[in-house]
Structure 1
Amino acid sequence: MMNLQEIINSINSLPREEQEYLFEFLRKKKAESKGDNFWQGLQKFRKIIQSDEIMFNDEDFANLRDYSLGREIDL
C-alpha cells in the first residue's frame, strides 16, 4: 500500500492532462457526495423500516414538539 507521499509523487509524475483528469474526477466525486449524505441516510432508514416491517402513525409523534418560547430568564 502506498503512503501519502508516494501517492503525491506518483501524481506529480503523471502527464499534465492525466493530472487534470484525475483532479476533475475527484472534484466531481466530492460534489456528488456533499448532498448525497442526507438522502442516502434517508433511503437507508426507509429500507430498514420496510424490511423490519415497522409500522408507525401520527400518535407515535404526538407531544414531541416543544411549544415553549425558549429558556426562561430570571432577572
Structure 2
Amino acid sequence: MSSLAASSFVEITHWHELDDAIPKMRAALDRHPVHIETMRNAEHMIIERGLVFVHAGLRPEVSLAPQSLDDLMTIRH
C-alpha cells in the first residue's frame, strides 16, 4: 500500500485497485490540507551523517548537486 493511501485512510491491497482509489485519496487530502502543504514544503534531498535520503532514487553516475528533481521523485531502479 502506498504511503499516500495510508495517510489518506484509503486501503489498497493490489495495484489494480489504484484507479478506483485515486479519487478517494484526493478527497481525503482535500479534507486534510496540511498534508498537501507538508508535501509541497518537504525537502527533496536530505543528507545526514553521510547518508542521502530521497523519495525515489539517484543516478549513480551523477554527483549529488546536479541530480534532477524528476529522478529524485520518480526513479525506481
Higher helix share: 1
TM-score tier (shorter): under 0.3
Highest Rg: 1 or 2?
A: 1
More relative contact order in 1 or in 2 (CA 8 Å, sep 6+)? Answer: 2
- TM (norm. structure 1) is 0.28
